[in-house]
Amino acid sequence: MTKKPGTDPKTPLRKSFLRSFVLWLAIGVSGTAALENMLLGIPMIIMYRLSAITFWIAQKLIRIPYIGMPNILAGRAIVPELIQSQANATSIATEAIRLLKDNTAREKMRADLLALRTTLQSGGTARAADEILRQLNG
């Protein structure tokens, strides 16, 4: 029998996690929030904007194809990433509407995200760290 999230005293969840279980879609930046959403299986859109000079420097120093941890771990685009000029209200709204209307795409994203959680539990963290280092040194 599956327990409701947050009812097992061995695995207490923050209240924000409990609220997150009902989300159809999250919109946020890459980083901890994207990782948390990935672990909870919450479909998402990742957006990120840097100053032009910072972005230029980052492109020269970091050579990985994705910025979001779910996509980095998967080695493919699971979650849409809207970067720099793409991270605008129109693009974000268009992508959000597409995902909210397309139950199949949203549920596939949820399943892919939850599969990444299984990957992390079975030693995927070390493989992901190795891949990130390989890309950075590459």
Please tell me the least confidently modeled range out of 1-5, 15-19, 98-102, 116-120: 1-5
Is residue 34 within 8 A of residue 70, CB to CB? The reply is yes
For 93-107, what is the mean pLDDT? 96
Ranges 20-29, 97-106, 121-130, most confident: 97-106
Do you know the residue count of the chain?
138
Give pLDDT, residue 64.
83
Tell which residue, 46, 30, 133, 41, has the closest CA to residue 92. 46
Q: Residue 15: CB partners within 8 Å, gap ≥ 6?
A: none
For 115-132, what is the mean pLDDT? 72
**Amino acid, single-letter form, for residue 34:** A
Q: Where are the beta strands (DSSP E) in the chain?
A: 26-28, 44-48, 81-83
Give pLDDT, residue 85.
93
pTM of the model: 0.73
pLDDT, one tens digit per residue, over 72-89 is: 989 999 999 999 999 999
Residue 4 scores a pLDDT above 90: no
Residue 17 scores a pLDDT above 60: no
